[in-house]
Amino acid sequence: MFFVYIVGTAASGKSLLTKSFSEWLEDHQLSVCIVNLDPAVRYLPYEPDVDVRRYVSYEKFLESGLGPNGAMIRAVDEIYNHVEFLRNEVEEYNADYVIVDTPGQIELFAFRKVTTGIIERLSMNDKSTLVYVIDSSVISKGDYDLDPYAFTSLLTLGISVKLRLRLPQSMALNKVDLLSLQQLEKLSRWLEEPESILLDVQGEESGIVSRLIEMLTTHEFGDVITVSALTEEGLDNLYASIQRELYGGEDYST
């Protein structure tokens, strides 16, 4: 089994990407087990095979008097005490890929001390990788342009997640179906020639952006892939990126 942890900011489309990518894998004759690791989610666009809500009640912590964030922190911490049960359920599926949909509030998951323990106990000795999901609409500036500061700041957050969780990572720029042709052309140029981002950056921030671009060109924080969970655009490229992270480019299906 190979574990793919889907992480990202709220409303970036993690759950829909989990659904779409899982279906894409199954269409290519690869078996999948979907794990929902968000104890607070009320609606999912897929039916999870393994669901943390069977073991951890976010509502219980709300009823105890905690606020939404406090309840979520307690719920995430509580997951650790039930990872063995989640792992046992996952093993019953013996799937090629285990796609793990993580909580919507990235700061309450990726940056909690307990999270590395959850991942280690859930994945055990199986290879694991991250897919950090970025909402492309956040970097949109008007109808025809992109915001280089929003783009690089989201990449910075992705670097932080990779460093915190200490796993190989691919970055998925999701919702590209919402971008105009002009925006897609600029985004493509930024990804193919990261140095071109500097043409849109001015002032003292250019030095910081320049150092980020250097990391981007050397793939120090993984590939950056454009995808649409809605239209399934780019899922083949996402799969290829995951292959590179897990097996150095060899296709598991072969």
pLDDT tens-digit readout, 98-138 = 999 999 888 888 998 899 999 999 999 999 999 999 999 99
Please give the average per-residue pLDDT across 238-247, as a whole number: 92
Residues 6+ away with beta carbon under 8 Å from 83: 117, 118, 121, 122
Question: At residue 254, does pLDDT exceed 50?
Answer: no
For residue 91, pLDDT beyond 80: yes
Closest to 5 in 3D by CA, of 105, 95, 119: 119
> So what's the pLDDT on residue 204?
61
Q: If you classify domain 128-244 with CATH, what class do you get?
A: alpha beta
pLDDT digits (tens, 9 = 90+) for 3-48: 999 999 989 999 999 999 999 999 999 999 999 999 999 999 999 9
Is the pLDDT reported for residue 71 higher than 70?
A: yes
Looking at every residue in the chain, the average pLDDT score rounds to 91
Q: Is the pLDDT of residue 221 over 70?
A: no
As a whole-number percent, the residues of the chain with pLDDT over 70 amount to 94
Q: Where are the domains of the chain?
A: 1-126, 128-244
Q: Do domains 1-126 and 128-244 have the same CATH topology?
A: yes
Q: What is the CATH number of domain 1-126?
A: 3.40.50.300
Instruction: In whole angstroms, give the CA distance from residue 213 to residue 148.
Output: 11
Among 97, 244, 91, 98, CA closest to 169: 244
Could you give the residue ranges of the DSSP H alpha helices within the chain?
A: 14-27, 58-63, 68-79, 83-93, 113-123, 148-165, 181-192, 205-217, 235-247
What residue type is 241 in one-letter code?
A: S
